[in-house]
Amino acid sequence: MGLLEQITGPARLRTLTIAQTEQLAEEIREFLVQAVSRTGGHLGPNLGVVELTIAMHRVFSSPTDTFVFDTGHQSYVHKLLTGRQDFSRLRRHDGLSGYPSRAESEHDVVENSHASTALSWADGIAKANALKGALDRHVVAVIGDGALTGGMAWEAINNIADSTDERLVIVVNDNGRSYAPTIGGLAHHLDTLRTTRGYEQVLSWGKRTLKRSGLPGRVTYDALHGLKKGIKDVVAPQGMFEDLGLKYIGPVDGHDIAALERSLSAARAFGGPVLVHVMTEKGRGYSPAEQDVADRFHAVGQIHPETGLPVAPSRFGWTSVFADEIVAIGRRRPDVVAITAAMLNPVGLAPFQAEFPHRTFDVGIAEQHAVTSAAGMAFAGMHPVVAVYATFLNRAFDQVLMDVALHRAGVTFVLDRAGITGDDGASHNGMWDLAMLRIVPGLRLAAPRDEATLRSALRAAVDVDDAPTVVRYPKGSVGPDLAAIDELDGVDVLARHEPGDGELRRVLVVGIGSMAGTGLGLGEKLAALGLGCTVVSPTWVLPLPSALVKSAGEHDLVVTIEDGLADGGVGALVRERAAEAGVRTPVHTVGLPTAFLPHASREQVVEGNRLTVPDITADVLRILGI
């Protein structure tokens, strides 16, 4: 039996020798490569924090001491060390979550996998501990250098530094990367910390030099004082943290367990907020990841563990279509610029950056800044295209509303992974955007159904210079083009089925975006049952096309199908506008519930929430009394 199988909880871990912990680290790396290659998941981040997580659990006592991971995708090692070693269904229905989960373990606290939040969580927990007199409890927040580019993290640091009685340890996991190389002033500062000779080393050299100089004692004292002051910000730029009031320890080798334990023990004993700067290597110990400059191993699908190559090559996806079209637009439009928040490769902006490096801006994990900066660029004559995952636009809603829309700024938002994403769970499903953005005055939103409509929607969006525009599309591969057979005032008609003999009832099916194919399937099923049916798919759904309301009045039932919230979504808007126009046709809205959906495959989410053709057909027949 290996050491890993013997670790049923952190207490057993603390009985090991340093040599045994090093052996355990190797076993964990081998386990992660083999397990994640079968299921997919976040491989690189977890390989980088093996020794760090071991040291944390040996120095601190979870769950009495609280661990908070930012963003949580590096918690696989933590799961293993707290007794969760069945990774066979990782990120699958009824299996382990890819992020911390309170339902799984008392050792998990924060489930939200959006970045830059851990320090605020930790500050709140530490403040509560202090108020209750629980001074024997520590809070340990692990935050990457990438997440430190988010403004929320610095809001937290500003407050933490002013709370001298908090038993709080901030571990900066510095690997120089988030989804991609960390950018900005903070990254340059941490680079300096990594490469500059330590303060104590330089000070020791100065002391020896002064001692050999033979200068009088008072002169030597004054010279030494001046030396300390002079070198502090030159060779010890950790002064940035210490000047804020945070005790700084580091940089520490993040793959040396003994050194990590010494540093974390010193932080634990300090009695106030401490920042421990740990240098790690993302993908450590796995050659394909160590040699990968594009960070393909941050998150992987199923791969061959020996080579790191995908088991099944990815099909041409929505992101690739966007990547190709935005470059074509950039060639025609020198005023078009691209902005993203630490996701240049995942959202498909790498080709644009390669061709237009000076027109591409990666702002780090700072969605709020990205949106307001875009408003400023629009005012100054550019047309910004802000590309993020749909779930992350939630973080910048105020900026969309008050900085872009209020000022009628021509900014285009491209929302990747809109709708159901599934495997990453509640915080990554891009299901909130339609309901959230429909209340923004003047905003125009497109939900393309295929490659052709995505390309045309993107071209139309960047032509709007007096209002925000949004183009949303799902995760995964693009299906075949769904050609329109007709067009009604901007609404594409995909199919018409006349009613059967003796049947006078007609159903209007509205398939929104990626659910257009489901709409076509529903239309065929209803037609086979003798019902008349019109299937439409409006590419631009906000503001709602008036043709939808008019067409609703010509049918006996309207069925809307979307992969966003049913409450407050596009279907609900159809019902509202129809009622305002005096149209009495009932509207059946099919979409997702207002709930946090557990991790599962897209197909399981669709089936579990009755978004399948058979389920919707049954609902239609029930409503019509058939």
Helix/strand/coil for 566: coil
580 is in an annotated binding site: no
113 is in an annotated binding site: yes
Predicted confidence at residue 234, as pLDDT, reads 47
248 is in an annotated binding site: no
Residue 580, exposed/middle/buried by CB under 10 A (0-12, 13-18, 19+)? exposed
Neighbours of 529 (CB within 10 A): 14
383 is in an annotated binding site: no
Q: State yes or no: pLDDT of 233 exceeds 50.
A: no
Tokens encoding 346: 């995942």
Q: State yes or no: pLDDT of 179 exceeds 50.
A: no
Residues 6+ apart with CB under 8 A from 536: 488, 491, 492, 493, 494, 508, 509, 510, 511, 519, 548, 551
What percent of the chain has pLDDT above 90?
A: 60
The correct CATH number of 318-472 out of 3.40.50.300, 3.40.50.970, 3.30.160.250, 3.40.50.1000 is: 3.40.50.970
**Averaged confidence pLDDT in the chain:** 87
286 is in an annotated binding site: yes
What percent of the chain has pLDDT above 70?
A: 85
pLDDT in tens, 114-156: 788 899 999 999 999 999 999 899 999 999 888 888 888 888 8
Name the β-bridge partners of 388. 415
The letter for the amino acid at 362 is: D
Q: What gap in Å lies between CA 437 and CA 439, rounded to an integer?
A: 5
Q: State yes or no: pLDDT of 474 exceeds 50.
A: yes
pTM for this prediction: 0.81
Q: What gap in Å lies between CA 145 and CA 206, rounded to an integer?
A: 32
355 is in an annotated binding site: no
367 is in an annotated binding site: yes
Pick from 8, 176, 143: nearest CA to 81: 8
146 is in an annotated binding site: yes
Query: Which region among 164-178, 262-276, 580-594 has the lowest average model confidence (pLDDT)?
Result: 164-178
pLDDT in tens, 296-318: 667 666 766 666 666 665 556 99
pLDDT in tens, 422-461: 777 787 888 999 999 999 999 999 999 999 999 999 999 9
Do 3-195+237-290 and 486-624 share a fold?
yes
3-195+237-290 — its CATH code?
3.40.50.970
Residue-level length of the chain: 626
Q: Are 445 and 470 in contact (CB under 8 A)?
A: yes
Domain positions in the chain are 3-195+237-290, 197-236, 318-472, 486-624
Helix/strand/coil for 3: helix
Q: Which fold has domain 486-624?
A: Rossmann fold (3.40.50)
Best-predicted range by mean pLDDT (170-179, 194-203, 290-299, 568-577) = 568-577
pLDDT in tens, 566-594: 999 999 999 999 999 999 999 999 999 99
DSSP letters of 45-110?
A: HHHTTHHHHHHHHHHS-TTTSEEEEESSTT-HHHHHHTT----TTTTSTTS--SS--TTT-TT---
188 is in an annotated binding site: no
Catalytic residue positions? Answer: 282, 367, 395
pLDDT, mean of residues 520-530 = 95
Name the β-bridge partners of 413. 386, 470
DSSP letters of 447-460?
A: ---SHHHHHHHHHH
Q: State yes or no: pLDDT of 54 exceeds 50.
A: yes
Sign of CA dihedral 102, 107, 110, 113: negative
